[in-house]
Amino acid sequence: QVQLVESGGGLVQAGDSLRLSCAASGRTFSTYTMGWFRQAPGKEREFVATINWIGSTNYADSVKGRFTSSGDNVKKTVYLQMKSLKPEDTAVYYCATKDSASHLYAYWGQGTQVTISA
């Protein structure tokens, strides 16, 4: 199985930036799809971004132009660079990777809290 650990969350002011990291270990593979998700209290978990091993990315409309995902395949780490943060970005952010057989996001990190003050 794959183990994922997010880091980099914190408390910042609106307009500031944060970079989240997601480090993978265990049974990792050269080809992957990594997803970023977030969940605020009382709200459904929502999709934020995806990145694959080639570096192709996809973003939710709510973060497009502000968030950028990237990956370091040697370090087995993916990043989410978040700029121009807004209070509505406040959430627990999770990374997850797809299982190669089911193509579902089967492996999840523990989450990292991102809080944006107005």
The pLDDT assigned to 110 comes to 97
d(CA 22, CA 15): 23
The pLDDT assigned to 105 comes to 94
Close Cβ partners of 19 (under 8 Å, ≥ 6 residues apart): 8, 79, 80, 81, 82
pLDDT confidence tier of residue 1, bands split at 50, 70 and 90? confident
The pLDDT assigned to 106 comes to 93
The pLDDT assigned to 30 comes to 84
Residue-wise pLDDT for 16-30, tens only, equals 999 999 999 998 888
Residue-wise pLDDT for 79-112, tens only, equals 999 999 999 999 999 999 998 889 899 999 999 9
* Average confidence score pLDDT of the chain: 96
C-alpha dist (Å) from residue 3 to 12, 55, 69, 96, 118 = 28, 21, 19, 9, 34
